[in-house]
Structure 1
């Protein structure tokens, strides 16, 4: 409303720190010194490129309108709308970039609508302030680049026709170059490849020939830590654990529950400049608080055993604080430690509202992965089918099933390999006191032949004899 413009002038300037304005949505907003405002003779009347102010809003009594049209740098409008948390149709347009010459065109179009639709009378003259006006951009496009990107040669006449119809000013520079002047309404066209894209989409992608890829594939880039992490995840899931994915951000108070008071590194984590919430203000230096929190939250809902695991995102090595002395052990490879297993100290568990024994297992993958072979062992598969057998043996109850499996899998006889799985363990009637029955499924396979029944029987007998010598095993009748 022209009658509400104080001092009858319009000025674009940066805000003074702490300056305020009630915008058209009725919200009072405070600005910093980097935000651009549209002002009259006494103060702000609009947030440049985002939203106008309520102090100069058009109302039912308006008879005179001052039309101010402008263009702004995309980055400035993006910053202002983000900091103010104010997303408008205007800000979305300016953020994407609008050609600088569009302001005059937009004003002329708006004045025409005022006159023809609203019956308005247009005042004479236009005030045009255009600092930093730049000459039209010119891009040199080589025909060889078109052929390189599209894979075909586009005739000169077609290139000139296509770009000309799209509003570009094209001059052919013999023998194989084009000097292209970009229209002001195409700020998205900046480099030669942008012009190639315009030519390709109009010329027709259906004209591009179908060819096979040429050249050799690049060698794969291995990531041993990631590969180990995936193997451990699969193993944990197979053992009945459920993965929890927590924020890598936490609080000092939670970290204090699981870190040593004298450990100044872990007790002073890196803080986030702009945290989204108070409970996500610091980068965690230990996974333990996150996993224990998840355990406590899920324990309220779950009955029976609860097994959780989580990883990704600690910013210092792990530690022993918070575990129960005498119930904690480190493990490693050679002389280098690679992890910790132990019971969470009851006081630490109680701080997370956990009133039962909780056991924690940590693997330091960066340390462990250095000891893994670069390539896993490989053995070619046999061309010949396997013979499947089921075998039940009786052993002492104290004999680990894993030891029996290890012996069976290592058994070799006349070039026959044995693969084995345990599918049942039984104690009860029919098995002597102090004994247990282990049911094994065997696959016997040779690399050079198909096994006969007699050969499979000999391997079975030899395996039973070896189990008898090593573990005192007998065949269950």
Structure 2
């Protein structure tokens, strides 16, 4: 809708105004965003505060009709009077403010945007009414954009115009008119300037220029620049740092801060003279919590060992826990890596499924169900999961959510292939090797495996995982009766580790050792010990005797038979030796052999001839 049409509606509404006391009719017309036009007129009352202005009548009627978004409002008065404060507040609340200049009959222009055709000067003009005014930049910008009407006037007022120029322009007009027409009469009819804009002082510490620009500009140069820009600078140095006091002209409405003055100095001095330097800064270092970091390292280590990660539900039923017992008549005293809680289990009040009644205190039942399902169509299953095991604390208390790792292996050790004939099943040593890979990855050098009895594991094929004297989990082969209850055929190797306890024992940091540039030396040692001596104890003797030259110690053979006394066994180790600064000589290797012999005597062992 054109502005003229909206003003026509306001003129019609003004004819219906009720003004028996002032005789000052006002009409208003509001254009809603949907295209509707709602009009209003002023309604007076003998009680003056009860009088309602035309603008508020139109806006409240529009709101009552459901309008909320408004494009423009036209207000028509007898002498171009502006809306009162209450009406301005309502207009500001409900929509953009557009100021229209009108006479007693029709509009003559949009304030700060464009004038009407009838206001142009022609050859028949005998009387000129000059209006010189300053308009708010934000109001002009809203009007121009709301009506999609961009003009030279709006472009200037949008950037801010000094209102003091109105009086200067008026005097200039009068001077030119008298110069052209000496007989013309000029009369000042009105001058409304309720809040004059005055120059104000702005204090600029001289050191602020160097702080913001990163360079020193001589004080004389600063004063010269500010003087040329008509800021009337003066220097104050008494009782403090040097300060430049400036008087900001009224036409520089864009200067209100110290930084604005610094910008003016830099602009005139030359941006090209500013020193070039890349931005400096430091990002916030990423600090992962130890439990999350351990989880990620453990997952990477197991994936690198050939296992696949699974994610299972945290709810199980009581029968799953009973199935972990070799006897199968009650829940065992030990559930995976955790003892059976004394206060009962964490039960769901309204379980989603009938078989989801408990929050699992161990991850093993969930993994064993996955193994059983996958073995129906796969020859091998090697899976792991890092999740929470829920250990109850007491009645009406939240459970202790322990981060745990569980793994399960079942089926052939290697997939069927034309170049591989080994069809053996995975067993205790495969699970132990996966746990060792995890321990090595996190740098747990003080780890050991201690034989234990476990109600869910095969006797003689179960061990506790101990790090620095603290048991962190178990590893072993599932008891055949337990595997049968979960409907799994063959050997099932399992392990469960309490990652929360494990993380608390990790006092060492990960480190990288440089590789020696000298040729390593490989030595094989056949060691005879009693059957009761574990291989880990023999390996510890080798590690102590060869430190710090040993880079790898591998057990590659176990022999019992001819040439070995009864009750004894022969363990064959391959030890790789290398020094960082030299090539090892034969005499050093012999000295190491002697150290190994002395160490083996302490455990009742000897080197095999």
Fold match by TM threshold 0.5: no
> TM-score normalised to the size of structure 2?
0.36
For the pair shown, which has the larger CA radius of gyration, 1 or 2? 2
